[in-house]
Amino acid sequence: MRAGMPIAAPGQTVGLLGGSFDPAHEGHAHLTREALKRLGVDRVWWLVSPGNPLKANPPAPIEERVARAQAVMDHPRVIVTDIETRLGTRFTAETLERLTALYPGVRFVWLMGADNLAQFHRWERWDWIMRNVPIAIFARPGTRLAARGARAADEYARWRLPAHAAGLIGRRKAPAWVFLDMPLNAMSSSAIRARGEWRRNG
């Protein structure tokens, strides 16, 4: 394992929360705590990405975003990492392929908010992700109806687990996904930037 990479042992289940975290905020932390509580994962890794290919404007420098994320989510079972920068991966599917090769025997679960599910079909090789990694989707303010009509949800409806079985998601072979309601936190990175509380790069 190369230097600076998170540690995980075969047999462990690791939740992966990816994003630009520009900036990280309590909404991310809230989702992570729910994942730790309800999914039976051993760890959650925050994958602070170099940049989001679907966003036109570059994020703040990754060092600043990682430092902010570590301050927001100080938890013994949560690791904040710039692993995508270290691996040189750009898209989620590529990152997941590398992680499954680097960590044989580790079960990964992709975590995301329902706002991402609504446009998940626009992601590079989104169907590969659905077929190869279990996914846990968490409700976000104003996204329940949009998520229900999402293409990914429709095409993979037969592989959806009921919410009460969420704790099994890490042990299920993909495709497998679950949608979880949770107490909603309306905080968003874009709102924080709009209020001028976070400096953008450039």
**First CA to last CA distance, the chain:** 34
User: What is d(CA 112, CA 17) in angstroms, rounded to the nearest whole number?
Assistant: 6
Q: Does residue 42 lie within any of the structural domains?
A: yes
- By percentage, how much of the chain surpasses pLDDT 70? 81
Question: What is the domain-level CATH number for residue 154?
Answer: 3.40.50.620
Q: Does residue 3 lie within any of the structural domains?
A: no
Using DSSP's 3-state secondary structure scheme, residue 46 falls into strand
Q: What is the pLDDT of residue 188?
A: 52
Starting at the earlier edge strand, list the strands of the sheet with 177-180: 78-81, 43-48, 13-19, 107-113, 135-138, 177-180, 160-161
Q: Does residue 100 lie within any of the structural domains?
A: yes
What is the tally of structural domains in the chain? 1
Q: What is the pLDDT of residue 164?
A: 95
| Chain segment 136-193, per-residue pLDDT in tens | 999 866 555 556 678 999 999 999 999 999 999 999 999 999 999 876 555 554 544 4
What residue numbers bound the domain in which 67 lies?
13-194
- Comparing 2-6, 27-31, 99-103, which segment has the lowest mean pLDDT? 2-6
Q: Does residue 190 lie within any of the structural domains?
A: yes
Place of tokens 């975590």: 111
Q: What is the pLDDT of residue 186?
A: 52
Using 50, 70 and 90 to split pLDDT, how confident is the model at 200?
A: low
